[in-house]
Every structure is written in C-alpha cells, then in structure tokens.
Amino acid sequence: MKQKEHKSRSLSWRILLVLFSISLSTLAQAQSITVKGNVVDPNGEPLIGVTITEHNTTNGAITDINGNFSITCAKGATLKFSYIGYKDVTKTATGTNLKVVLIEDSQALDEVVVVGYGTQKKVNLTGAVGSVDAADLTKRVSPNASSMLQGRVPGLQIVQNSANPGAEQAAIQIRGQGTFSDAGSNPLVLIDGVEGDMNKVNPNMIENITVLKDAASASIYGSRAANGVILITTKNGTEGRLNIDYNFNMAWQSPTTKQDRITNSAEYMTLFNKALTHTGGDIAKKGYKQEWIDAYKNATPGDPMYPNHDWYGDIIKTAPMQQHFLSVNGGKNGTTYNFGLGYLNQDGMVIQTGYKRYDAQMNLKTNLGGRVTFGTNINFSKSQRHSTSYTSSGNQIDNNETEDLILCMYTQGPYYTPYLPDGRFCTGGYSGRGHNKAPLAVAYSGGGKKFDENYVLGSAFAKVKIIEGLDAEVKASVRYNQVSSKCLTVSVKAYKLHPDEFGNHEESTYNSDVNTLTVRQEVETQYTLFGTLNYRKTFADKHNLNVMLGYNQENFKYDKVGGYRTGVPTNTHWELDVVPTAGQTNEGSAYEWAIQSYFGRLNYDFMGKYLFEASFRYDGTSRLASGKRWGLFPSFSAGWRISEENFLKNVEWLSNLKVRGSWGQLGNQNIGNYPYQDVLNATKYNFGGVVTQGLTQDALSNPEIKWETTTAVDFGVDFGLFNNKLFGSIDWYKKTTKDILRELQVPTHIGVSAPMVNDGTMENKGWEFVLGHENKIGDFSYSISANLETYRNKLVKFGSREINSKNGTIKEEGLPWSSYYMYVFDGIYQNQAEIDNGPTPISNLTQPGDMKYKDISGPDGVPDGKITPDDRVVVDGAFPKFNYGFTINAAYKGFDLSLFFQGVQGKKVYVKEWGIAPFRQGSVPSVFWRDAWNGEGTSNTIPHIFNDNYAPNTQVSTWWLQNGSYLRMKNIQIGYTLPKTWLSKIHFQNVRVYFSGDNLLTFTDFFQGLDPERTAQNSRGAIYPQAKVVSFGIKVTL
C-alpha cells in the first residue's frame, strides 16, 4: 500500500511539473494590444463598474467614473462587457477606440456564482448554493466576517456566543448539526480556494461569499465538506485607472441589555436573611444583623461607609472601536493588482479587555500573451488581545477569564464599593460575611493575559490556456498561524469595608499567594497544493460541456511548547527567565496529518434548458489506518429550466422557472489524529517514595474505524416573475450522517477510556425559503428580501440513552440531539395542606412557597403519587423551529437606507445558576425576585426567594427553561453619496458618509436583562454581553 501511495504522489508531482512546463512554453505565443473605449447606457450616460473580460482568460478590466476603460489583450480576442441589470455585449479587440452601448436587461440571468474550483452561471446551478456580495456584507460594522453573515443565507446558522474582542466564539453550522462526534459540525472555509480563517480576512477585502449547502455543490471537497463549505473570494485588481479607497469608521459599543439587580443595601441584606431563613440557614452566623440593616437604612445618602452600589458600571462600560482601511486597485498591460491595509482598535466593554489587529492583503495577477496568467494572493494578520488573569484556576491560559470576571461582578453586594475611603481595594462589608473575591483588585492589579497572533495565508497560482477550450491551473499555498500566550497572576490584597471590634479591616489575598507565570507558544502550519484541468466545449450551438479533473494534497502540523513558573519576582515580569528553578513545570505536544485527493466534475446542459452535473472526490487521509484510508464521495444533480420550454415562451410574466434535484455523499475526516493507534502520554507516578516520570495509555485504540459519511438529498425550485422583479427559491433537504465516531459504551470501571467506534446515525431535514422583490421608479429604487429556514434534527442510532442530570438533557434514539429532559413546573405550593395532599415532593425540605412539579409517571409508566426522576419528560426547544432574516434597501438620488433583521423562533434556553438563581454563590438577585411568593396567594409563578442550591427549587425543571425566541434589528444604515458634480472639482471619484447601528432593537420574552442570542444550553448568565454598536463612517475613492 505504501508503495502505491508513493507512486501516486510521484505521478501527481510529474503532472504538475508538466503543467508548469506547458505554461512556460506559451509565454510568447500571442501578440498583445491595448484596447480603449467608453461604455454607456442607451441614454448616453456613462456606466461605472462595467466588467470587461477577455474570452477564455482571467484577464479583465473595469470602467471608471466616466465609463472609460483600457485593457491589454491578445489581438483579435473577444471582449465581453458585463454589468448587472444589462445584457452582455461582445466585441472584437481591434486596437481602435470602442464605443459600447449596454441595453438594460432586468432578468439578469447571467450572474456568475463562485463554486468549488470554478464559477458557474447562477441560472445553470443544480445544487443548493447561497451567496452574499460585498455590498451587503459590509453594511454591518463588525471586525469579523462571521458575524456579518448572520441571517443572510437560509440554512446557515451563526450564533455569536460572546462579544469578547478577538474571541467572539461564533458557532457556525450549515443545515443543522451534522454529527455528535468530536469531528464537529463546523463547515470548511476556503479563502481564494485554500483553507483559512474567515475572521482573519478584513471584510473590506471580500468580494463575495458563497455557501455550498448540499452534496451536489460541496462533494467536490469530499471528506472536508461533510458540514458544508463557505467560499470566500477576495477582491482582485482591474485594468484601467488607479483607484485609491479609504474607509474610516468610528464606533461605540455598549451592551444590548442590562439586568436590573437589587442595588439597595438594606433591601439586599433583608432579602438575603429571608432566603437564608427559608432554606434553614443560620442567621446568627451567616446572616446580616438587624443593626447593620438599620444603619444602611438611616445613613446619609453618599456616605462612603454605607453605600448603595451598582457594580455593573465598574466592570462593563461603553467602549470605543475604530477601523481604518486603505486599498489600491488598478492594472495595466495585462497586470492587475489590489492591495489592502487595515487597522482595528477595539476596546472591550468588560474592563481590561481589548483587541488590536493589523492586516494586509495583496492580490496580484499578470497575464502574459493572453495564454498564461500568474498570480498570488497573500493575506497577513497580526493581532494582540489582552484581558485580566481573573480565572477560577489561577494560572490557566485556557480559562474564560472574562466570564469569570462577570460572574464575580454579579456576586458583589451593593453594601460595599470597590475601594475603601483610603483607596485600598475592598472585598465585602463585614467580617465573616459572604463575598466572592475582589474583581477590580484582580482586574487592575492582579496581572493579566496577553495573546499575540501572527497569521499568514499565501498562495501562488498559474493558469494556462493550452488549446481552445482547455485550461490548466496549479496553485500552491501555505497557512501559518502562531499564537503566543502569557498569563501573569499577581497576588493582590483587599479589605473589608467595616472594621472589626479592634478597628482592623479584615484582609484577604486573591489570585494566589505567590506570583505565577504561564507562557505558551503554538504554531500551526498547513501546506496545500492542487492542480486542475478544465475543458469547455459547445457542440452544434446546443450542447454545452464542461469537464474538470484535479488533484489536491494537504499537510498539516501543530507544535506547542510552554512553561509554568512560580515565584515571579515582580508584578510586571512577563518572561520565564530570572524565575527560581523550584516549582518549574514545562509542557509540549505535537501532531500532524495529511490528506491526498483526486476529484472531478462534469457539467452538461442542452441549450441552457436541461442541466446535469456529476462530481466525485477520492480522498485518502492519514487519520485512518492503512486499509481504511481511502473513500469515494460522489454526487449527481440535474435541473430543468421549464421557463425555456416553447409552451411557456409566451408567458410574459414568467421570467425564470427551474426545478432541480441532487444526491451525494460526503465524508468527515476531522476525527482526531491517531484514533486507530495506541497512544502513550507522559505522566508522573510515585515509585518507592520518589516521583518518577513514566508513560501511560489513557485510551484503547481501534484500527477498524472508518469515515463518517453523510448522504444528502435536495430538491429545489427557483423562480423569477415580472422580469425578475419578484424572485425566490424553495428547497427541501434531508441530510443523514452515519458511522459517527464515538466512544464505545462500556462500564466506567475498565480503567482506561473506551475505544472509538463507528456507531451512530444523525439526521437533519428541513425547508428553506427565499423571496425577494426589487424595482426602480424614477430616481427611487428599492429592494426587499426575506429568507426562512425550518429543520428538525433526529438521533437515529445511538445505543443506550444517556441523561445529563445537571443540564437537563437526554440523548436517545428518535429524539433531537441533547433534547431537554426535565421536571414540569406546576405552580407554587401555597400552604402545607397542599403539600400533604399532593404527590410526595422530591425533597423533604419542601415547604409553602416552593416549586411544585407534575406527577407524570412512575416506574410502571403511570403516575404513582411521588415526584421522582421517572417524572422527567422530553421538552421541545433545544433546536429552533424557525430561523429567518429580512432586508430592506432603498435609495433616492444620493441618499440610501438599509435595514436588516434577523430572528429565531421556537428556541428555548436553559438559564440557571447566576443568570436567574438568587444568591447563587452570593450573587445579587435581580429585581424579578421582588415579586416572589410572600405568603398564600401572593404568587403562583415565582417561588419564595431562596439561597444557593436549595433542593426543592433548584431541580432541573421547565421553570428554568426560558423562551429564547427573538427578532433583532441587526443593522440599520443611512448614507449619503456626494454628487459627482461636486467631486469633479476636487478630483474625487466617490465620497459617501454614513451612520450605522447594530443590534439597536430586540424583541423578545427572554429573561429580563439577559441576551437571547446564545447556544441553547448555556446555563450561566455570566457571559460576555452582546454589543449594541452605534457608528459613523466615511468612504472616499480617489
């Protein structure tokens, strides 16, 4: 087998070398000329941005503000002039000045969409593909592309779990959760054809984004595409005059919502005592004395010893963000270029957090003699992120320090402030009474975390026109990502506000007793090489054929090295040197994988009416054992443009009608690096009283594991009415993933982790709808578009059911993945008689004012008069019923307006602990608890206020399950473009000023003060808040 693989690789390299040789032999085969001209509409008005391309090449140009163009091409070449909303025109390059008139064509059926390893006319697509262009993408003021995509494409689900600058943690899925294994459900992201990180690309450099949703469109990427593919195309240069663009934006970020908590100190202490009494606590030892409460009640307002303090404003603040982007675009004599430089400076809303990023993009392309094109795409990003070292585990780099800081904010009582009157940090009010660390002391004096990242994605390519209709392309790329992380933990002291009987302020130490430092460096390197041969031919002016064959090879390597030190001598020392050798700990790890692929695609259409496509990918991965490494992933799709049939030709209101269907298979190779091998890990053990270094096997291996395979079926209808002024599409899909990789279900006492096995099946099926309308009435133009998706997830094969009692979920065949499984809330016990006469409560502590649960089932499946785990039921809502979005655009003369809304319906979110529970680890209750049960008949929805983990009220029940449905105005933007008559005097091409707002309005029934936009089972209320952004900007083109 190894010999076969070696021969295969050798043959592949030879093919690529031959392609390069062919390209070199064609450099001088064509004579170049320069063609100049002007493009206008039927009224003689110049058309700006018309694309001019040389037939069967990538050579192109674009018209300037006056409709003028210049392009260097082969003499006698065919030039195509394309402009959205106008019919294409072709001209022969004769070297004379050309005057081109484009006629309006509202059908716009020649729109081209980027697909795997190429492009296709949108009207000829037979797969499920969604796309977003740069104009729509950049209307939102966001430092990353993932958040800009939210709600734009049906079937693409994006949840931004955090607004932590540089660490937004966006969860991305295409058409639902594809697997429950560690392979994950993240789609493959390709930037200019090679794998990359979409959030490392400056959004201003993006030309368009295409989402490949079904197997017909994605199977060309085989085992990398089980969860769909996102294709990002960056902006290329265009021949013609030099264009310089500068884009500036200044923004202010604030939380989308703020939870109102009890900030009156006397009220807080009274409620605490009330909760403590109800739960059987000792008031004398843990409660607040009445004299303390009275002192706060009677204190003079503003007395620093008796405050009523809201800690929210100390931790979370309005934060500025500024972005600058400069680009240079142009081309001459067959060479085009586009250079971009970006700078982002984003302060975090949470104190001591922030992010800076410097990025650069260079796209360069040179056409030699009309037959050969060389080019390069280089994306560079350098970022710096900082935060506090506030973590529950002290020195851990990986912990989410900002969430821990927010959690700590919620646990600070209002009866003390961050500082004593003498300026020292404060922690708590009275000796021996509850407090939770000192957030400002740790944030400002406790060290911090630094993350420095350098990212490079570079590629070079050559495209060769071998003969008429036959093209070849070779591309080589490297992706390099280096992250240096440091966590300095500094010991800090804080004091109680009120002195003890001796006049001393009780002292506490936080973070650690001694200073610690953790340093880590991680490096990822990925090499990609692919080559394609593409043949296009039209026979008898009716039969259109396109055949593509290709080869791809990728190699990935990861290295990590780090160290941990105690006894750091100063509070500002961030290096491992000069630290005592005692207590030193070092770490290091590495892994790598490789994949080799052969692929192909055939497209055929008859007169643009009957469409067919077939593709395959043959992948071999190092992540599987030798006999299991190779997998074949085919797909087939077909379409019928019914509107092109003669019997519909005279139906004037029908512009386009196409039905299509597809079937295909995809694989998933993200299954771990060595799951088929026995792996030994370094460890330490005690031998004869001496700590000795050794090796241990943590998990059993399984050499028989194989690919996870996804089979997808899609049927769709695309339509356009009234010259495509009304347009839309409908899709139904079913996606089934089988042979899901998981740990074998075995007893836990075997001593090591169970081996991985292919034993699981998951299904997603649903509908997608798109509807849009656009029109122009005089100087007023507008467009309205909406998309909606509904899908259902089902666990088809899983084995024995698994119940997570903490989060209230169940994994069982026939149900959606991790469905809610919990007790059903049934009101509040109003008196003791109601408790005595009802089902036996789940806790013997139950008393009037506590939650009541439904008696649904006993061991025999019928109610048994007792509340037991048998009464838990499956509750819908782990997955939303609908995801939707809609956009409204309007323009009148120089003014423009855009509105974008995004929403989720039918989702429930389990929020417990610090989000809702009162006094959870000392957390301050929200004002919601003012309406708690306070005697018979006072409430049947909110229980008596309680303290921490009080068993009768903290069971996993539907009371904690909140309605997470929402509709949010994601963006509103108002702009004005200055008249060209003004700009011509100062030699500017274009100037636009705009005001923009993100997340300004949210309609939801979610728990007051918490943001509904989160993953379904995030039980902590302490998460980095979503940002409401208000900004203004200006874009200038010279």
From residue 679, alpha-carbon distances to 623, 673, 682, 700, 746 in Å are: 13, 11, 10, 8, 20
The pLDDT of 493-513, averaged and rounded, is 88
Minimal CA–CA distance to 206: which of 268, 260, 140, 258?
140
The pLDDT of 529-533, averaged and rounded, is 95
718 contacts 113 by C-beta, under 8 angstroms: no
pLDDT of residue 790: 95
Q: Please write the tens of the pLDDT for every residue from 774-812.
A: 998 888 999 999 999 999 999 999 988 999 888 899 999
938 contacts 804 by C-beta, under 8 angstroms: no
Residues ≥6 apart with Cβ < 8 Å to 403: 162, 1020, 1022, 1023, 1024
**Confidence class of residue 5 from pLDDT cuts 50, 70 and 90?**
very low
H or E segment at 590? strand 585-606
State both tokens at 435.
Answer: 């407090």
**Confidence class of residue 635 from pLDDT cuts 50, 70 and 90?**
very high
**Confidence class of residue 19 from pLDDT cuts 50, 70 and 90?**
very low
- Residue 136 exposure: Cα atoms within 13 Å on the Cβ side: 20
H or E segment at 5? helix 2-25
**For residues 137 and 144, what is the distance between their CA atoms, to the nearest angstrom?**
10
- Does the pLDDT value for residue 23 go beyond 60? no
Q: Please write the tens of the pLDDT for every residue from 828-872.
A: 999 999 999 999 999 999 999 999 999 999 998 899 999 999 999
The larger pLDDT score, comparing residue 939 to residue 408, is at 939
**For residues 120 and 611, what is the distance between their CA atoms, to the nearest angstrom?**
12
Cα 132 to its chain centre, rounded Å, is: 16
pLDDT of residue 139: 74
**For residues 16 and 14, what is the distance between their CA atoms, to the nearest angstrom?**
5
**Confidence class of residue 28 from pLDDT cuts 50, 70 and 90?**
very low
pLDDT of residue 29: 39
- Does the pLDDT value for residue 122 go beyond 70? yes
Most confident residue range from 102-106, 208-212, 512-516, 792-796: 792-796
The pLDDT of 290-307, averaged and rounded, is 95
**For residues 238 and 365, what is the distance between their CA atoms, to the nearest angstrom?**
10
638 contacts 611 by C-beta, under 8 angstroms: yes
Q: How many CB atoms lie within 10 A of CB 701?
A: 16
163 contacts 999 by C-beta, under 8 angstroms: no
pLDDT of residue 785: 94
Sequence-ordered strand ranges (E) for 313-403: 319-332, 335-347, 354-368, 372-387
From residue 843, alpha-carbon distances to 291, 606, 772, 847 in Å are: 35, 73, 56, 10
The larger pLDDT score, comparing residue 931 to residue 1011, is at 931
Cα 520 to its chain centre, rounded Å, is: 25
pLDDT of residue 30: 42
Minimal CA–CA distance to 215: which of 760, 736, 788?
736
- The domains of the chain are located at 31-104
pLDDT of residue 915: 65
State both tokens at 826.
Answer: 């049934």
CATH topology of domain 31-104: Immunoglobulin-like (2.60.40)
- Does the pLDDT value for residue 664 go beyond 50? yes
533 contacts 550 by C-beta, under 8 angstroms: yes
**For residues 1034 and 1030, what is the distance between their CA atoms, to the nearest angstrom?**
14
354 contacts 383 by C-beta, under 8 angstroms: no
pLDDT of residue 751: 60
Q: Please write the tens of the pLDDT for every residue from 759-771.
A: 899 999 999 999 9
The pLDDT of 877-883, averaged and rounded, is 91
**Confidence class of residue 3 from pLDDT cuts 50, 70 and 90?**
very low
Opening angle at CA 694, ends 690 and 696, nearest 5: 130
3 state SS for 93-147: CCCCCEEEECCECCCCCCCEEEECCEEEEHHHCCCCEEEEEHHHHCCCCCCCHHH
Q: How many CB atoms lie within 10 A of CB 104?
A: 14
The pLDDT of 581-594, averaged and rounded, is 83
State both tokens at 86.
Answer: 């106008």
Specify the pTM. Answer: 0.84
Q: Please write the tens of the pLDDT for every residue from 172-200.
A: 888 888 888 777 778 999 999 899 888 88
pLDDT of residue 1025: 85
DSSP state of 671: S
- Does the pLDDT value for residue 752 go beyond 60? yes
pLDDT of residue 823: 97
State both tokens at 51.
Answer: 């694309």
**For residues 188 and 201, what is the distance between their CA atoms, to the nearest angstrom?**
15
Residues ≥6 apart with Cβ < 8 Å to 782: 774, 775, 776, 888, 889, 890, 891
- Does the pLDDT value for residue 2 go beyond 50? no
- Does the pLDDT value for residue 169 go beyond 90? no
DSSP-based three-state secondary structure for 699:
strand
Q: Mean pLDDT for the chain? A: 86
- 795 exposure class (CB count in 10 Å sphere: 0-12, 13-18, 19+): buried
**For residues 449 and 326, what is the distance between their CA atoms, to the nearest angstrom?**
31
pLDDT of residue 31: 67
Q: 88-96 long-range CB contacts below 8 Å, 24 or more apart? A: 90/55, 93/33, 93/35, 93/54, 94/35, 95/33, 95/34, 95/35, 96/35
From residue 882, alpha-carbon distances to 157, 776, 879, 903, 906 in Å are: 11, 32, 9, 8, 7
pLDDT of residue 797: 93
Q: Please write the tens of the pLDDT for every residue from 465-476.
A: 999 899 999 999
